[in-house]
Structure 1
Amino acid sequence: MAPKVGLFIPCYIDQLYPQVGIATLKTLEHFGCDVEYPESQTCCGQPMANTGCTNEVGPLARRFLEIFKSYDAVVCPSGSCVSMVKHHYDEYFTDNPEYEALKAKTFEFCEYLTNELGIDKLAGRFPHKVGLHQSCHGLRELRLASSSELRIEPFGPARALLESIDGVEVTTLKRPDECCGFGGTFAVAEEAVSCMMGEDRVSDHEQAGTEVLTALDMSCLMHMSGIIRRQQKPIRVMHISEIFAECL
């Protein structure tokens, strides 16, 4: 029986990049998932939590649980939003077995493809030099890839999936897991620092020969895409789900 998947779409994707949600849906359905998009879903509360408004997060956390608890899996094309659910909802639930079950079955999109569906190779062709940005939440809270400060065997399922696509050359960065500077409300409160960090990331991709910049988080790509447009850099920006959907 096909797994019943609840598709969890972040606010900025819903409002600004709906094509990313559609690409995620198409990819999951291609691999045999029975996907539903609960229209009653709301923001997970991450912006409020980032600014210290923790009381406002509680109702959203409880609503999220009620909406998604019945699915076999909850899948989201954003590491930061998944991290919010798995690592920052605990204070709103005390000894709640339904929430513990929800945490265990909530996954970032690439994580679900590789770890749960066992996908290790993608068909299709994408003849481009692709630069992979590793977002902070996915890297250091969800551990979706190895980070440079840890002396461990390198791993990275998203990179492996990209490299399995015919024609893809993943570019080599000088600083492969540095923050892009977005950081949610940090980009508003510390605009100058945020922009300088984003410019550093874009420059690293430019020197590496990146033609298509991708990531597991559209929020990071949104930040760097703005810099790329203003500086008129010849780099195309695509969420990783868009690349997968185009190949399929």
Structure 2
Amino acid sequence: MITLSTLNKYKKDGRKFSCLTCYDAMFAKMMENAEVDTILIGDSLGMVVQGHDSTLPVSVDDIVYHTANVARSNKHALILADLPFMSYATLDDAIANSRKVMQAGAHVIKIEGGSELCDIVTTLANAGTPTCVHLGLTPQSVNVFGGYKVQGKSDDSAAQLINDAKAVVKAGAAIVLLECVPAALAKAVTEAVDVPVIGIGAGADTDGQVLVMHDMLGVTHGRVARFVHDFLSDEDNEARSVQGAFSLFHQSVIKGSYPKEEHQFN
């Protein structure tokens, strides 16, 4: 079973690790067979499962339901689960909703924001609940950003992101996740903190890589993000199967063949 101690050892040893979103038992079992290291029950389910145009309508009950589905089947991966939009606006909300999601089977709670989350991170850590803090492009703040845009491009915003990462780790965050930031900035953050850093659209130098399952299977509509690769159709997926795609993703991450330069932002 992959644990936080496992991921910390991977970081120390320079061994990359894989992460995919998952929302049900069958796909969780296929990910286990493919040896995917970590699973994220992401609020991305609002878009890829529920048909919304953002993650904002997702509820805590939605996350609890899908986390329980995955946890019943998973015997291998570390399970991260999102707290959805406005479900941790207060410390009391964060405590109550983290309890629900952890009791459903999550091992780590993921929340979006920066140094303003420090009190929540510390309180949850002291209560036995590890957190993954999501920095960079945080989809729950899409209306603040004015769309899905690369973050940390200016010197000031890059410095702020590094400071936020250091602050939340000092407060007790167990993992940092970086989305859609320049590769050089992601490398700087990864080197600046002593906890595992997961990237999505953040270059090849983070400790781990995550993709939305539907994206990496080529099950997408409209514009495909720059960092997405279709592992199901990849010629190296010799089994031409979903489980083969999961295995190819996992192997590509740990061997360093994904992401390539074409998948990153500069």
TM-score by length of 1: 0.36
TM-score by length of 2: 0.34
Q: Determine which structure has more spread, i.e. the larger CA radius of gyration.
A: 1
Which has a greater percent of helix? 1
